[in-house]
């Protein structure tokens, strides 16, 4: 009997039809669930089976049905969630997405499944854990170059999971304008860029890892170890009958 491929839940965002080029004007107000295809491709290439998670569900209904969770990039996290007032409106928060994704984190941790956060996903996990964010760091939002360009060299902390995956140094893309300010209690910084910006965090004792860059947009995506880690840990949780 063929072993079941681990099911990895992928978060997305919601947009009105008017935001999509060439979408019929008559459907301007129709709400669309939008998922960046590269996340799903990365999961498939790592041996997992992606499951897109709409914003209309109760995360509790997924208990025992998923094997892993991938929190994707997107709009800013609501500053009120970490006790701050808004300082920028470049990428306005989506309170519904915040609420649902935080619920999925609660569910994943309670169900002992691995969690990978990417870009916004890292920021959301830090806020979930009680940390805070810098709301606008424009020097890291390098939209002036192709998304696959590696422009930021990171130093990876020895003794971390991220170091096991990437070694001492790793060169990445940079597509974010918010960064970690205060790291959540109990979490550790696993990687920093040259200016000290937090680029990776981990929660020791848990299968929870987050990176600030976008590995799904790099040409190394098919073999990137962070996706292999997620799917491998999801498969391990599946086999022990989580």
Q: What is the pTM (predicted TM-score) of this model? A: 0.95
User: In this structure, is residue 15 part of a structural domain?
Assistant: yes
pLDDT tens-digit map of 72-89: 999 999 999 999 999 999
Is the separation of the CB atoms in 147 and 124 below 8 Å? no
C-alpha distances in Å from residue 123, one per residue of 11, 29, 147, 163: 14, 29, 20, 20
Q: Where in the sequence is the domain holding 112, given as residue range(s)?
A: 7-239
- Residue 189 clears pLDDT 90, i.e. is over it: yes
Task: Give the integer Cα–Cα distance in Å for 168 and 162.
Answer: 9
CA-closest candidate to residue 226, choices 75, 61, 3, 8: 8
Task: Judge whether 44 lies within some domain.
Answer: yes
How confident is the model at residue 2, as a pLDDT? 62
Helix segments in 78-224, DSSP class H? 95-110, 120-128, 161-166
25 vs 120, residue with greater confidence:
120
Residue 1 has pLDDT above 50, yes or no: no
- The sign of the dihedral angle between the CA atoms of 46, 111, 95, 28 is positive
**Confidence class for position 3, pLDDT limits 50, 70, 90:** confident
Residue 213 in this model has a pLDDT that exceeds 80: yes
What amino acid positions are annotated as catalytic residues? 119, 214, 216
- Whether 2 is in a domain gets the answer no
Q: How confident is the prediction for the chain on average, in pLDDT? A: 95
Mean local confidence (pLDDT), 195-220 = 98
Question: Quick check: helix, strand or coil at residue 69?
Answer: strand
Q: What is the pLDDT of residues 125-141, one digit of tens each?
A: 999 999 999 999 999 99
Q: Is residue 11 part of a domain?
A: yes
Rounded mean pLDDT, 53-76 = 96
Examine the pLDDT at 66 and tell me if it is beyond 90. yes
Q: For position 49, which CATH number holds?
A: 3.40.50.880
Distance CA(119)–CA(14), nearest Å, equals 17
Instruction: Write out pLDDT tens, residues 118-128.
Output: 999 999 999 99
Mean pLDDT of 82-102: 96
Tally of domains within the chain = 1
The tokens describing 93, both together, are 């928060």
Among residues 42, 34, 38, which one has the least CA distance to residue 12? Answer: 34
Mean per-residue pLDDT, 206-210: 98
């Amino acid at each position: 009997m063929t072993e079941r491929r681990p099911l990895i839940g992928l978060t997305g965002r919601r947009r009105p039809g008017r935001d999509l080029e060439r979408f019929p004007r008559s459907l301007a107000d129709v709400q669309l669930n939008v998922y960046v295809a590269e996340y799903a491709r990365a999961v498939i290439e790592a041996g997992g089976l992606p499951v897109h998670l709409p914003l209309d569900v109760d995360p509790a209904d997924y208990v025992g049905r998923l094997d892993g969770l991938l929190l994707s990039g997107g709009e800013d996290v609501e500053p009120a969630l970490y006790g701050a007032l808004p300082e920028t409106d470049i990428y306005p928060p989506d309170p519904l997405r915040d609420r649902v994704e935080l619920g999925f984190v609660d569910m994943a941790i309670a169900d002992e499944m691995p969690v990978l956060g990417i870009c916004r996903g890292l920021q959301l996990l830090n806020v979930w854990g009680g940390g805070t964010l810098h709301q606008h760091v424009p020097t890291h939002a390098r939209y002036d170059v192709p998304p696959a360009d590696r422009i930021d060299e990171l130093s990876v902390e020895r003794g971390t999971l991220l170091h096991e995956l990437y070694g001492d140094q790793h060169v990445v893309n940079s597509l974010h304008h918010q960064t970690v300010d205060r790291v959540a209690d109990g979490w550790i910084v696993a990687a920093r860029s040259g200016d000290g910006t937090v680029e990776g965090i981990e929660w020791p004792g848990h299968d929870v890892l987050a990176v600030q860059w976008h590995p799904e947009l790099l040409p190394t995506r098919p073999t990137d170890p962070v996706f292999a880690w997620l799917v491998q840990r999801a498969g391990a949780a599946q086999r022990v009958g989580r």
